[in-house]
Structure 1
Amino acid sequence: MPRHSATAPAHEHRTAEHARLAEAPAAGSPWRLWGPYLSGRQWGTVREDYSADGDAWSYLPFEQAHARAYRWGEDGLGGICDRFGFLNFSVALWNGKDPVLKERLFGLTNGEGNHGEDVKEYFWALDGTPTHSWMQWMYRYPQAEYPYRQLREENARRGKQDREYELSDTGILDQNRFFDVTLTYAKASPDDVCIDVTVTNHGPETAPLHVLPQVWFRNTWSWGRDDRTPDLQPLDPRLVGLDLRAVECRHSFLGRYVLTAEGSPEVLVCANETNAMVLFGDPENPTEYTKDGIGRRVVHGETGAVHSGSGTKAAFWYQVELDPGASARFRLRLSMNDPEPTTFGPAFDAVMADRSDEADEFYEHVIPDTLDDVDTAVARKAFAGLLWNKQLYRYDVQQWLDGDPAYPAPPPQRQSAEGRNTSWTHLSLADVISMPDEWEYPWFASWDLAFHCVALAHVDPEFAKEQLLLLLREWAMHPDGQLPAYEWAFGDVNPPVHAWAALQVFRIDGEHDTDFLMRVATKLLLNFAWWVNRKDSDGSNLFEGGFLGMDNIGLFNRSAALPAGFRLEQSDATSWMAFFCLQMLRISLELAAVAPPFDDVATKFLEHFLAIARAMRSFGSQDVSLWDDEDGFFYDVLVHPDGGVQTLRVRSMVGLLPVLAVAGLPVEIAALPDFASRLAWLQRRRPDLLGGLVSGADPEGDRLLAVLSGDSLRRVLERMFDENEFFSDHGIRSLSACYREPYRTVVDGQEMTIDYEPGESQSGLFGGNSNWRGPIWFPVNVLLADALKVHGRHLGDAFRVTVAGQEMTLHQASDEIASRLAGMFRQGPGGRRPCDGSRIEASADPLWAGQVTFSEYFDGDTGEGLGATHQTGWTALIAPMMIRRGVR
């Protein structure tokens, strides 16, 4: 069947998976009950932190995770759970040498790594469909003892100037001495999941492996809020047959499920309860069969750590010896049905084959057939990562701050004004949310989520819409209108990209769901008011913003308060607000056709945009501007207590973002009486306000609203496309490369410097473990490329810019950005992908070269992927970017 080769919405094309999507549009739909919602890491999260000092990494570290019951969630390797997180399934492993059972991914905390928190495992999301009718995930497990201590000690020894020390650097994976463990899930029906665990020995020698598929209930009964305890009970082998083993799982809400395993593995049962005796020296435990019981039995031979009665955690214990190149397959089935002789009969394999074929058919309709095999594989892997990073997020801030009735009250410091998230007590979430990454970032971030949704809309527009609406609901959005940033500090400020994302999703979905657009718009009016009231302190139409996700782009920490009397007028915050205005204007114009009152709303955003555009060029009595006419660039400006101003002449992404503030006005505005009459009035009476309004080249009379026009646009783009400044072989850098020689200036009597760092930060910078001082970030690159298309549609081919020494139209320049971004994932000279850099993924061995890794950001000189090494969140924008290129 030919692939989809136009931009029509997915719901117009009927495959088996599209039919399931139509059958299951809502979060509570049956086909969405089971999915990859089990987190890759629950330990070290804010939700599990009940400390006085807020050191989440130390309060529940990796060393305690195997023996300590979590409060808010669970974690596992390639696992699944129901959308409420009550019943969980994943696989545990033991190579006969490790000191603990391998049940979850290991990595270094922010204080342990020389470049911040970093997972030290190899794993990949291989495939998936949006209803999770088909899912594949692979983990690479070493055959020698896992080098936990070596990884910690070597990374602690290395400085910021050194590369991170990775698992492959230890030599443990040499000669391919590892097992590949592939988990495949295929749904026979919404509540009948066929599971295949296949392990392969890639090493040169026969090696043993213990494979333990596990099922367990999240602990909801120990905290004094709900004393109902679920029950997990092995079924009598005589009842299920000699070649089957089964565990019955009973839950007061979910009902009854049975996990059936093929063959005759030993069934190990314990309780999902903390081993307080081992961890804290308590005199007794609530049960002798604690959470670590299965690991103690398998690894240490403690037969008394498990039993064969009822509990809340169980495992099927398989043991195999695999010759070089050999594989072993273990089949399981999670269902409401009792096991029977046909549970693993031909129908099981038929379900697997059918769902695999249906996944291929689905993506043939999503990914254009004009893409080559390489780009198609990259796009499909990007979608798989997004779908696998849908994780259950439970967090009730008020309960978390108050503590639980069955436990001592939390330290009083948590309730103080300095305590984390104390002003967000309304926030209460228990939802499946798109996470940036299952280990480094197993929590949502509001602007990351917006970018995820644009990619997700190509495969699951209903889920994308639900995600955008979720953050606008009363139990997420602050009563004052602020969107929650992320759990480490909900009150931090992320760029206002929600309106843009909503409009993109609306268009990708076929421009028919005006109800969705209206629900978003009405809530974003509150958010817009919050920005105006909180981040424009003097009413100048210039915005302070603060952090805005760009951790280290400036001379000083923008998350921290400035000295008394100082104020930072930010080019990026102001540009984002101009961008926000125009997106709300476009939404209002869309809605006015079905809801005439939005005609007035469009007028409001027109006037507000014009005020911001004018202020960006001139503010205050001294008539100083964010725009520097001598340099032809936008800069942040520091306002001193005495009213004096200081331009911070750092050429960074903050000076490129004004390019984003652009939108075309359709000819049909004549049908909007209020908007059309106000625009005509402004043209006649207030031409001074229309510095951002440009008549386009379109003969039908379309107009362009833009902060930048004519010569100012050309001058900014000249810098953006200068390879000695922002434009690299792999996209647009976040800081000009001219600062290879550091920039120095004096601020309030103190000398400050900033220098270009193309990759990992060479010093302990502000804002955690991220680096905006040179690397390439996908979302802003994609936004800039899209903005150039809008400019180009109205300015025409006569408007040209110099791109790396060549004259190009704005359309061609946009395509050049997209081409360089895509090029990071394509094989270059020597057959290597730039994004793999010098990591083991760059090996010529197909076992490594065949796996695509999506990173958080990319080296501004080499294109190597850096930061979170499985960050499929905003980097998944590679998929829609390739789709758009493929349908031209």
Structure 2
Amino acid sequence: MTSLTTPEHKRLAASESRQADWKKWGPYLSERAWGTVREDYSADGDAWNYFPHDHARSRAYRWNEDGLAGLCNRHQNLCLGIALWNGKDPFLKERLFGLNGHEGNHGEDVKEYYFYLDNTPTHSYMKMLYKYPQVPFPYQKLVEENQQRDRSQPEYELMDELCDVFSEGRYFDVFVEYAKAAEEDILCCITAVNRAPEAAQLHILPHLWYRNDWSWGYNRERPELRLQGPGIITTSHRHLGPRWWYADISGDEVVDFLFTENETNAMRLFGAANPSAFVKDGIHEAIVNQRMDRVNPRQTGSKAAAHYQRVIAPGESFRVRVRFTDRPHKNPFADFSHILKQRKIEAEQFYQVVQPAGLSDDQRLVQRQALAGLMWSKQFYHYSVELWLDGDPTQLRPPEERKLGRNTGWRHLYNLDVLSMPDKWEFPWHASWDLAFHAPAIALIDPEWAKRQLILLLREWYMHPNGQLSAYEWAFDDVNPPVHAWAAWQVYKITGRSDTGFLERVFHKLLLNFTWWVNHKDKDGNNVFQGGFLGMDNIGIFDRSAPLPSGGYLEQADGTAWMAFYSLNMLGIALELAQSKPAYEDIATKFFEHFVAIADAFYHIGGRDISLWDEKDGFFYDVLHSVNGRYVSLRVRSFVGLVPLLAVHILEPELLDKLPRFRRRMEWLLRFRPRLAAHVVPYDEKGASGHFQLGIVSKKNLMRILDRLFDPDEFLSEFGIRSLSRSHAQQPFQCQVGQQVYSVAYEPAESQSDLFGGNSNWRGPVWFPVNFLLIEA
């Protein structure tokens, strides 16, 4: 097969068959570990203030490391990354800077310019770009200016402060490339280009360090890095074995090797005695403050760096090379350039095969960089809720309030895996529905990884024993749209081969999840669902993850539609499996009947003439079920009313002929349950083709919704379908509860609401995943 002829495809095949371990090392280092839930041991759950950015250079992380353009093994025993210094900043640039959730007028926000340029699925070749200003980085100004702004104003960005600096080219383009000579032989090339009209100094410090797993009372052995000879650092780890790290010292520069420990500087942060004579920020102190007493003169420690510096002429570049390997090399840089060039060529060959023919050069570039972003956004993620709640043997006992707070119902959860993240700075934690949307895209280049990720979130150490999928670390109990079955079904079809084993593994666990939804989110047992948050943050007039201020509860149009969508995807999987295993016909029938019951409930809640469909407006709305028994439609035209369009499925006659038991039951329902049969109609008007269409929306109602969907004054924008109708710009929806007036208005850019931190917005912007589902439907 052509698709298996490229070297990268051969590496993927060897990795999948376990003949080789090309994915052991990858870009699994987070871009932000500070300000995360895992590092928060406060009584009030204020993760941002418990571990702020200012602590990051001095404080050892408990759960995982972060860094700039970093790489590590899948268990993050040992990390590689870079640090930069322009000679003017107050500290080394070891990690990306951004505002925390309290500092930004629209929530947390990274304030740096960096670009993922290339990456292959086995990470045999990776490239990224970081733009480093040559003037002092405006850390304080970014914080102060954004704190002074309210939510009606735009964010204050780095470009706003440094517009002249960037327009005049007074910055360094720092390109970082990795290439694998073998599974555990990794080359790193750092190339800094001076874009300024005059010479400028730059310090480059490739780093090597161990994740601190020895300070918490479980493993007291602290591994050691040691300068073995000119340009050579050696180490040995109980899991990794011996390693060699080579830094190229063939240039004219004097290269210093600096060592310290990955231990907290308790004196700086808390005024307490340090656990070690040398601490985490020792290399920073040595470079920025010339405190050479802060690094170990014996040139040993758990954190090390090679210090290069040069004054770079205008337009010129400065290159630093390092090599990390599991075996010694007499001349580690003799074949360096050849290997780097060869892996770049192989990356080109790989993408020439996997990208579809007919794309323009621009389209190919956009898709390739998007896929590179998915590959760069893998992250080692470590979190044991039980250990986090109870505390570690050598640390202070956590406050008792935590045992009644965040994630207390998830003590079973133990994550120690590499996961595909939504983003390694703003969202450096697994998010179930984000990952589900990423999986089909990942499957275009690495089906095995996509499948493993979907299976992983369904395993016993992730999924709750009651069947609920974890949402995200801020609140595992929150409920996301049930798109896991859709993702699995998409990945199965994309791969082009019948991997029914994968489908069965996913399907069996999703049966538990589907049952959880029915038992926990269908309050009255009438097939109308109250999903709550459902991932679309501030789309509702109320915070849908909290009790309603009015009392009562919402009958959610989107929650109910997502469950209809879920039913159809489970139906599709069951029908596929039933073709080779007839036992699945019965469960297919179950999902068929569950779908039509949900579809009917849209128009007859509890069997009564109460509907999520508003005949006057021609749209679906949430319905408020008040404490006095009244039902009130909340006439907000948003994605909430469009989700019912997604629940559509075609039954083909060839398939029905193969499954006679399923067909007989379907025909019985069509004959004896005419109201339910309204949602199973012939695909063509006369029914001659034998195709049946399952759907919530009738043709008449569909035309009314589409009138709004394709109206530029409502949903249709130049770039896709808006999440909220533009009509609400002039006519905000308002609802008064007691003395409080709640409203939803069209906000096409940043959110003006503080719901869910305020850094995402479903009141106008175009959201690609739901647009994709609309197009597919």
User: Which category of TM-score, normalised to the shorter sequence, fits these structures?
Assistant: over 0.9
Do structure 1's residue 235 and structure 2's residue 228 form an aligned pair?
yes
1: distance between equivalents of 2:151 and 2:741? 22
Paired residues of 1:188 and 1:351 also in contact (CA < 8 A): yes
Q: Which amino acid aligns with 2:513?
A: N
Give, in angstroms, the shift of residue 310 of structure 1: 2.1
Q: Matches of residues 857-868 of structure 1 in structure 2 within 5 Å?
A: none
Over residues 265-313 of structure 1, what are the superposed CA-to-partner deviations in whole Å (9 max), with x where a residue is unaligned?
111010000010111000x212111111100000000111112332100
Give, in angstroms, the shift of residue 769 of structure 1: 2.2
Residue 317 of structure 1 is matched in structure 2 by 307
2: distance between equivalents of 1:27 and 1:704? 43
Paired residues of 1:735 and 1:774 also in contact (CA < 8 A): yes
Aligned-residue identity in percent: 54
2: distance between equivalents of 1:332 and 1:18? 27
Do structure 1's residue 94 and structure 2's residue 85 form an aligned pair?
yes
2: distance between equivalents of 1:684 and 1:710? 21
Residue 665 of structure 2 is matched in structure 1 by 678
Give, in angstroms, the shift of residue 32 of structure 1: 0.5
Do structure 1's residue 138 and structure 2's residue 125 form an aligned pair?
no
Residue 259 of structure 2 is matched in structure 1 by 269
Match of 1:732 among 715, 721, 730: 721
Gaps of 5+ in 1: 1-9, 238-244, 788-888
Give, in angstroms, the shift of residue 177 of structure 1: 0.6
Q: Which amino acid aligns with 2:61?
A: Y
Paired residues of 2:538 and 2:753 also in contact (CA < 8 A): no
2: distance between equivalents of 1:663 and 1:577? 14
Do structure 1's residue 510 and structure 2's residue 496 form an aligned pair?
yes
Provide TM-score, normalisation by structure 1.
Answer: 0.85
Q: Which amino acid aligns with 1:613?
A: A
Q: Does 615-624 or 105-114 show the bigger shift?
A: 615-624
Do structure 1's residue 212 and structure 2's residue 205 form an aligned pair?
yes
Paired residues of 2:134 and 2:172 also in contact (CA < 8 A): yes
Give, in angstroms, the shift of residue 463 of structure 1: 0.2
Paired residues of 1:11 and 1:22 also in contact (CA < 8 A): no
1: distance between equivalents of 2:530 and 2:2? 42
Residue 169 of structure 2 is matched in structure 1 by 176
Match of 1:693 among 680, 697, 705: 680
Q: Which amino acid aligns with 1:710?
A: K
Match of 2:754 among 764, 777, 785: 764
Corresponding residue SS for 1:355:
helix
Give, in angstroms, the shift of residue 748 of structure 1: 4.4
Paired residues of 2:79 and 2:210 also in contact (CA < 8 A): yes
Corresponding residue SS for 1:47:
coil
Residue 373 of structure 1 is matched in structure 2 by 361
Give, in angstroms, the shift of residue 564 of structure 1: 7.6
2: distance between equivalents of 1:72 and 1:27? 28
Over residues 508-533 of structure 1, what are the superposed CA-to-partner deviations in whole Å (9 max), with x where a residue is unaligned?
11141100000000000000000000
Paired residues of 1:26 and 1:462 also in contact (CA < 8 A): no
Give, in angstroms, the shift of residue 562 of structure 1: 2.0
Q: Matches of residues 842-861 of structure 1 in structure 2 within 5 Å?
A: none
Gaps of 5+ in 2: none
Corresponding residue SS for 1:249:
strand
Match of 2:462 among 452, 469, 476: 476
Q: Which amino acid aligns with 1:149?
A: Q
Residue 3 of structure 1 is matched in structure 2 by none
Match of 2:43 among 39, 52, 57: 52
Do structure 1's residue 281 and structure 2's residue 268 form an aligned pair?
no
Residue 524 of structure 2 is matched in structure 1 by 538
Give, in angstroms, the shift of residue 362 of structure 1: 0.6
Residue 340 of structure 2 is matched in structure 1 by 352
Give, in angstroms, the shift of residue 14 of structure 1: 2.3
Do structure 1's residue 557 and structure 2's residue 543 form an aligned pair?
yes
Match of 1:333 among 310, 320, 323: 323
Give, in angstroms, the shift of residue 563 of structure 1: 4.8
Match of 2:772 among 754, 766, 782: 782
Match of 2:377 among 368, 389, 410: 389
Over residues 648-670 of structure 1, what are the superposed CA-to-partner deviations in whole Å (9 max), with x where a residue is unaligned?
11111111110000011122212
Give, in angstroms, the shift of residue 743 of structure 1: 2.9
Over residues 697-735 of structure 1, what are the superposed CA-to-partner deviations in whole Å (9 max), with x where a residue is unaligned?
274311111111211111111111111100011100011
Corresponding residue SS for 2:664:
helix
Q: Which amino acid aligns with 1:782?
A: F
Residue 624 of structure 1 is matched in structure 2 by 610
Paired residues of 1:99 and 1:299 also in contact (CA < 8 A): yes
Corresponding residue SS for 1:127:
strand
2: distance between equivalents of 1:454 and 1:27? 23
1: distance between equivalents of 2:656 and 2:607? 36
Q: Matches of residues 388-537 of structure 1 in structure 2 within 5 Å?
A: 388-416=376-404, 419-537=405-523
1: distance between equivalents of 2:608 and 2:523? 18
Paired residues of 2:107 and 2:757 also in contact (CA < 8 A): no
Q: Which amino acid aligns with 1:510?
A: G
Residue 571 of structure 2 is matched in structure 1 by 585
Give, in angstroms, the shift of residue 766 of structure 1: 5.1
Give, in angstroms, the shift of residue 742 of structure 1: 3.4
Provide TM-score, normalisation by structure 2.
Answer: 0.97
Give, in angstroms, the shift of residue 674 of structure 1: 2.3
Paired residues of 2:468 and 2:516 also in contact (CA < 8 A): yes
Residue 595 of structure 1 is matched in structure 2 by 581
Residue 291 of structure 1 is matched in structure 2 by 280
Corresponding residue SS for 1:32:
coil
2: distance between equivalents of 1:128 and 1:71? 29
Give, in angstroms, the shift of residue 642 of structure 1: 2.5
Paired residues of 1:27 and 1:463 also in contact (CA < 8 A): no
Q: Matches of residues 242-261 of structure 1 in structure 2 within 5 Å?
A: 245-261=231-247
Do structure 1's residue 167 and structure 2's residue 158 form an aligned pair?
yes
Paired residues of 1:557 and 1:767 also in contact (CA < 8 A): no
Q: Matches of residues 557-576 of structure 1 in structure 2 within 5 Å?
A: 557-563=543-549, 566-576=552-562
Structure 1 residues 26, 714: closer, same or farther in 2, change over 3 A?
Answer: farther
Structure 1 residues 182, 658: closer, same or farther in 2, change over 3 A?
Answer: same
Paired residues of 2:234 and 2:245 also in contact (CA < 8 A): yes
Paired residues of 2:199 and 2:312 also in contact (CA < 8 A): yes
